Structure formats: structure tokens, C-alpha cells
Amino acid sequence: MATHRIGDHTIEFVHRPRILSSAAVVGPKEGRGPLGSAFDLALEDALYGQKSYEQAEHAIFQEACERCLKKVNMPRERVQALLGGDLLNQIMAASLAARELSVPFLGLYGACSTMAESLILGSILVDGGYASPVLCAAGSHYCTAERQYRFPLEYGNQRTMAAQWTVTGTGACLLGDEGNCLARTEMATVGQVVDMGIRDANNMGACMAPAAADTLQRHFLDTGRKPKDYDQIITGDLGRVGSEILTELMEESGFPLRESQYMDCGLCVFDPKDDVHAGASGCGCSASVLSAMILPKLHSGEWKRVLFMATGALLSPTTSQQGETIPGVAHAIALEGGDQA
Amino acid sequence: MATHRIGDHTIEFVHRPRILSSAAVVGPKEGRGPLGSAFDLALEDALYGQKSYEQAEHAIFQEACERCLKKVNMPRERVQALLGGDLLNQIMAASLAARELSVPFLGLYGACSTMAESLILGSILVDGGYASPVLCAAGSHYCTAERQYRFPLEYGNQRTMAAQWTVTGTGACLLGDEGNCLARTEMATVGQVVDMGIRDANNMGACMAPAAADTLQRHFLDTGRKPKDYDQIITGDLGRVGSEILTELMEESGFPLRESQYMDCGLCVFDPKDDVHAGASGCGCSASVLSAMILPKLHSGEWKRVLFMATGALLSPTTSQQGETIPGVAHAIALEGGDQA
């Protein structure tokens, strides 16, 4: 049997699955940020005409998937799988969107690493000839995440300086085996769960950075690549605190990241004047930045090859209250410019 | 690019990935049931020496994975991926087990369909040469599920006759591309989310049965097979109510299931005298029955080929309280007897 393994943790996609289209639908605060005009839709109201924020999260997830399909005139009947998830308990935004879209559904939970997890599994489905096209999507909503993971907004708690602001938004990509494309997926490194004993639910960056460093080192060791082999190494949503920790850890590991060549999605979404402290987070952060910034730059040829690594903090209010620490996980996928680049 | 598709919803595994080993660790009530002696470990106490039921759920998940590896002397360092999930919010039992096992982790959420979802994605990883061996696992715990989805046990609410009893237990399988095996995976049908408008959180069977019927019909239409082509069609955990609905729906669809040839894992686990009303449920139900009963019968040759279809109710207390209905999903995977059959 042919193997598509490189080293212990890395997978190669020999057919280089194509990202045929992408879309991002975000909330109003995200729309005011530096990527505002690059999102497909920035809502005027985070409630999106719904009766609850959970319903809005579902509607945003669905809208991003539908816009992604519409851009390439792909009828939903032809979609052979939706792989995705969100931060709601029981990933209800993705599940309800899957119900409305009527496509085969494989639900994922990787906290804020979900977009990379879905792109990796989606690429395997396409590369191996198991399904094409497939939709990969991840979303989050500030108002539901605060209520579920920390406090209801009405409580008005004070945010610490290490806190990140969950992105309201969903990013979706359509992967396929043929056609013009924005980018192609090349290889992926599936991460392990790493836990350095952090207990602070308001410091997601510190929980995720060790996992990011672990996956990044494994990627370089497996592939023989170095940071300079990528035009940009892009982490999911480490924010200011987590990015600094990752930079230090990579310096120590012998794979230092040059500042010009490393960026974090958590530092791209909000206007610095918008008082979000350590930056943006949430499944929807890396997913919407992928669609609004990373794929366009790969498509235009500004970047030839990037490593997209979404990072997740496996935070549970229940286990945290029981004294558990907060583990992190990070998955990396290498993306190359599309055929028009 | 070669395609491994059969029809619109079905995938073929051309190399027939091998289930090299399996293990199930369950609670005391499950240990008293008809499959009691077939489980690898039936605990005397559902708390398993831990301080909370959530911690116990994590420990049980981990124990099942470790026993599965130990049976074939597989060092955990060689495992290239763990695909799995559970019913806890943020799938913490699987996430914490993945941390302890130190293997690459792809978290899944498919409610009680998770074992089939993990076997399908695991089979794709192995069949396509992307990873081998891989661990597939799903678990649940009665005491955590009741608290999270319905009421804390201390509340002592009365259970309706349609209610099912969540299995305390985890089932795990090790999939690989070579070696003696219990069974091999042949093909799989990935289900869509189906919602017939049920709102009763105490009638999971009725929520899941329409999805089960949908996936089953698609499987037969895609493959040209009929129910008689399987020695047994095995649903995850429809229980008494859901099984009856599925039987009626399949009768109407033109693919009637003969009684001798159809079984539900939800009706195999508990002693009928144990007052569990409509039967067993939970991710751990189909996962532990797979290990304790289905794989042994395939291995012994009593069954040559079965269709294993785990079913999930995408129940969320939050969206239910907001008036949402409870959608269902079901994934089917065909299993053939192993090489010693």
C-alpha cells in the first residue's frame, strides 16, 4: 500500500487538493477591523435578525457555506461532505447548518484548531479520491462563547489583559480535485495534545502556544524544512501573549521565526483601538482570516507557500471547575499558491 | 485521480483496512448485563476511583485505548492518530485521554454516531496510506450525560418510558494496514442530518430513527445491495422506540428488515430486569457492543458481513431551550470477517 507519510506526524497530499473557493461572514466589530472590506459579508448586527446569539451563530455558519458554494456556482447537491465545527456545546452551529444544507456531515471538535483539522481531513478525502468537492468550515460567536466559557455578557465582568476576544464569524472553503483554484494543500502535520499546566481561562494564548511549538517543531523535523521555506508561518489565534511565547519557544528549539515571516490571525482581525486586549480568538478567527487574507495572497502570488497552523485550547468550564488544567492542540497544513498565481 | 466512490454517499475502502484489536471498558450496570463477561473490564464503581464522574469518563476512555493497544503489543509511540470523541461538552474525555496517550489527535463530535464516524475516517486514513495504525474510540458516562443533557442525578427526576439509559463505557478499535485482524472495513455511507421535528429530549430513539432510515436507504441505493446481503444490520442505539420506527420506515421504503437479521446495540447492553425503559444509548453503547459482540462474531465466522450503523441525536440543552428541534445523524460502515474467520 502506498504511504503518504513523511516522518512521524506529517502527511503528504500527492495530488495537491484544490481550494476552489472560500467565503467569510463576520460580525460588525470584525467588519470595522483592518480586514473589514475583505470579508464577504460584515453584519451590521451580531444577532443577524435572529432571536438568540446561538441562532445567529448557526445562520452565519450557513451563510458562509452558501456563499462559498455560490462563488463557483456549485450546487449543494454536488457537495459530498461537510467537515466542520464550532465552539458551541455539541457543535450546534455546524450541525444545524448541515441540516439546512442537506449534505453528508462529519462533525469535528478541535476548539480553535478546527479550521486546520477540517482542511486536513478534507484534503485527505479529496486527495485519496474518497469525496470531492467537500466543504470545510469553522465558526464562532463572541456572545455565545463568553456565556458558555466564561460569563454572560450581561454580567459585565472585567477582562484581563491576557484575554482574547472571540471572533464572531465563520470561514468556509470548498476543496476539490479539479478546476481553477485559490490555493492547493500540500502537506499537513497533525498535532498532539500538549498541556503545560495553565489554568487561566482568560489566557488562551499561553494554553495554546506550547502545542503550537510542538507541532511546528515536528513539522520541521519530519519534512526537513526550515521556517525560511515558507513565505509566511501563520498561527491560528495565539494573540499577543501566545505569539510571544511561541516565538521564544521556537528560538529555543533551533527553528527561530523571523518577525517578517511570522504572523498570527489573532492579531489581524480587530482594530487596535477597539480594546480587545491580547487579540482575537475563536474557531472563526483563523477560518475567516484564511478566507479574507491568506488565500487571496496565495492566489495573487504575493505568497508562494505558507504554513497555516490553527491552534485550539481544549477548555471546558466543567473540568476547569474540577481543577483540570487547559490542554492545547495545533494542526498545521502547508498551502501553495493556486494555478493562477 | 482514482475515485473510491460508490453512488452519491458511499465510499469504498479498496484495501479493506484491518481492525487489529478492540477493547471495551464499562460500568457496573453494563457489567451485569448480557454482555457482561465479554467486556474487557466491567468496573465495580462508575466513579473508577476518581473524584468526579467526568474524571472517571476520561479514565475509562484512556483505559479502553490502552487495553486495545496492549492486546496486540502496540506501543503507543507507533500510533499515528487517535480519532474519537464522547458526549461531554468539548469532548473532554477524549481530549484528556489524548493528552495522556501522547498521540496525534483528531477530535470528533457526532453524538452517539461517533464510533461509526471515527471508524469511517480512520479507515480512510489507513486505506489511503495517510496513517497506520490509528485508534478509533468513543465513550460516554451515564452520570455525566444525565447532568449535562437533562437533570443532575440528585434531582431524582422520573424517567419516561421512551427514555434510554446512557452507557457508561468506552469502546476502542485499532485499525491498521497489515497483520492478523478481527474484521476488515469494506465500505461506508456518510449520513446527512435529518430532522423530523422531535423536541422530546427523553425520546432519542425517535430523533435518530429517521436519520438511520435515510442513511440505510442511501446505502442500499448506492451499492445495489439489499438487507439480505448482510448477516446482520446493526444500529447504534435506537432503543426499543427507535428500532420500531426504523423497522416501519424501512418497510415503507421497500427495503424491509427481517427481524432475525436486524439488531440494535441499545437493546443488547442492559439486563431487561434493570429498568432501563427504552434501552441503552450514548457513544459508548455502540462502541462497546462493537468490541464485545460484533467483532468477536465476525472473527469467529458466525457473521461474514455486517452493516454497523451508529446513530446520533444532535441534542443541545441550549438550542432545545430556545425552541429548536433535535436533529439526528447516522453513519454506516460495512464490516467483513477477519482473516482468521
Please write the tens of the pLDDT for every residue from A231-250: 999 999 999 999 999 999 99
> Residues B109-126, buried b or exposed e (16+ Cβ, 10 A)?
bbbbbbbbbbbbbbbbbb
Least CB–CB distance from B15: residue in A1, A15, A129 = A1
Same domain? For B167 and B218 the reply is no
Cβ-defined contact of A108 to B108 (cutoff 8 Å): yes
| pLDDT of A340 over the 80 cut | no
pLDDT, one tens digit per residue, over A259-273 is 999 999 999 999 988
**Per the confidence metrics, is the pTM higher than 0.95?**
yes
What is the average per-residue pLDDT within A95-108?
Answer: 98
Mean per-residue pLDDT over chain B, rounded: 96
pLDDT, one tens digit per residue, over A110-149 is 999 999 999 999 999 999 999 999 999 999 999 999 999 9
Same domain? For A205 and A272 the reply is yes
| pLDDT of B91 over the 90 cut | yes
* DSSP 8-state assignment for residue B36: G
User: Tell me, what's the pLDDT at A341?
Assistant: 41
Same domain? For A33 and A109 the reply is yes
User: Tell me, what's the pLDDT at B145?
Assistant: 96
| pLDDT of A285 over the 60 cut | yes
Confidence band, pLDDT 50/70/90 cuts, at residue A1: low
- Residues from chain A contacting residue B108 (CB–CB below 8 Å): 106-109
- Which three cell numbers mark B25? 471498558
For β-strands B105-107 and B81-86, DSSP reports them as: parallel
How many Cβ atoms from other residues are within 10 Å of residue A132's Cβ? 25
What is the average per-residue pLDDT within A282-311?
Answer: 98
Q: Which of B149, B176, B203 is the last residue of a domain?
A: B176
Pick from A146, A52, A136, A149: nearest CA to A97: A136
**Contact between residue B95 and residue B56 where contact means Cβ atoms under 8 Å apart:** no
- Measured CA to CA in angstroms, residue B17 lies from A131, A137, B68, B236 at distances of 18, 28, 17, 21
The 3-state secondary structure of B69-93 reads HHHCCCCHHHCCEEEEEECCHHHHH
Distance (Å, whole) CA A36 – CA B60: 47
Q: What is the dihedral of CA A224, A251, A257, A119, to 10 degrees?
A: 60
Size of interface A-B (CB pairs under 8 A): 186
Distance (Å, whole) CA B160 – CA B151: 13
- Residues from chain A contacting residue B80 (CB–CB below 8 Å): 5, 8-9
| pLDDT of A279 over the 90 cut | yes
pLDDT, one tens digit per residue, over B245-265 is 999 999 999 999 999 999 999
| pLDDT of B326 over the 90 cut | yes
pLDDT, one tens digit per residue, over B26-74 is 999 999 999 999 999 999 999 999 999 999 999 999 999 999 999 999 9
Distance (Å, whole) CA B253 – CA B201: 27
Q: Which of A176, A203, A224 is the last residue of a domain?
A: A176
Burial of A85 (0-12, 13-18, 19+ CB in 10 A): buried
Q: Which of B123, B152, B176 is the last residue of a domain?
A: B176
- Measured CA to CA in angstroms, residue B128 lies from A43, B83, B106, B171, B177 at distances of 41, 16, 17, 24, 10
- Residues from chain A contacting residue B95 (CB–CB below 8 Å): 193, 314, 327, 329
User: Tell me, what's the pLDDT at B1?
Assistant: 59
Determine the residue among B95, B218, B221 to mutate to test chain A binding: the one whose Cβ has the most chain A Cβ atoms within 10 Å.
B95
Same domain? For A122 and A152 the reply is yes
Distance from CA of A160 to the nearest CA of B (A): 23
Distance from CA of A2 to the nearest CA of B (A): 6
Same domain? For B330 and B190 the reply is yes
Same domain? For A166 and A192 the reply is no
Least CB–CB distance from A130: residue in B55, B124, B177 = B124
User: Cα A63 to chain center, whole Å?
Assistant: 17
Distance (Å, whole) CA A178 – CA A193: 34
Mean per-residue pLDDT over chain A, rounded: 96
For the CA atoms of chain B, what is the radius of gyration?
A: 18
Same domain? For B188 and B117 the reply is no
The 3-state secondary structure of A263-328 reads EEHHHCCCCHHHCCCCCEECHHHHHHHHHHHHHHHHHHCCCCEEEEEEEEECCCHHHHHCCCCCCE
User: Tell me, what's the pLDDT at B341?
Assistant: 41
pLDDT, one tens digit per residue, over B175-205 is 999 999 999 999 999 999 999 999 998 999 9
Range of the domain at A290: 183-337
Q: Which residues pair with B112 in a beta bridge?
A: B110
Distance (Å, whole) CA B74 – CA B85: 21
User: Tell me, what's the pLDDT at A3?
Assistant: 81
Q: Mapping DSSP to helix (H, G, I), strand (E, B) and coil, where does residue B6 land?
A: strand
What is the average per-residue pLDDT within B305-327?
Answer: 96
Same domain? For A271 and A312 the reply is yes
Same domain? For B207 and B110 the reply is no
Distance (Å, whole) CA B147 – CA B154: 9
Same domain? For B117 and B242 the reply is no
| pLDDT of B339 over the 80 cut | no
The 3-state secondary structure of A46-97 reads CCCCCCCHHHHHHHHHHHHHHHHHHHCCCCHHHCCEEEEEECCHHHHHHHHH
Same domain? For A196 and A317 the reply is yes
Number of domain units in chain A: 2
- Residues from chain B contacting residue A91 (CB–CB below 8 Å): 109
For β-strands A169-176 and A18-26, DSSP reports them as: antiparallel
Confidence band, pLDDT 50/70/90 cuts, at residue A288: very high
- Which three cell numbers mark B309? 450503523
Distance from CA of A305 to the nearest CA of B (A): 22
Confidence band, pLDDT 50/70/90 cuts, at residue B274: confident
Same domain? For B260 and B138 the reply is no
B240: domain CATH number is 3.40.47.40
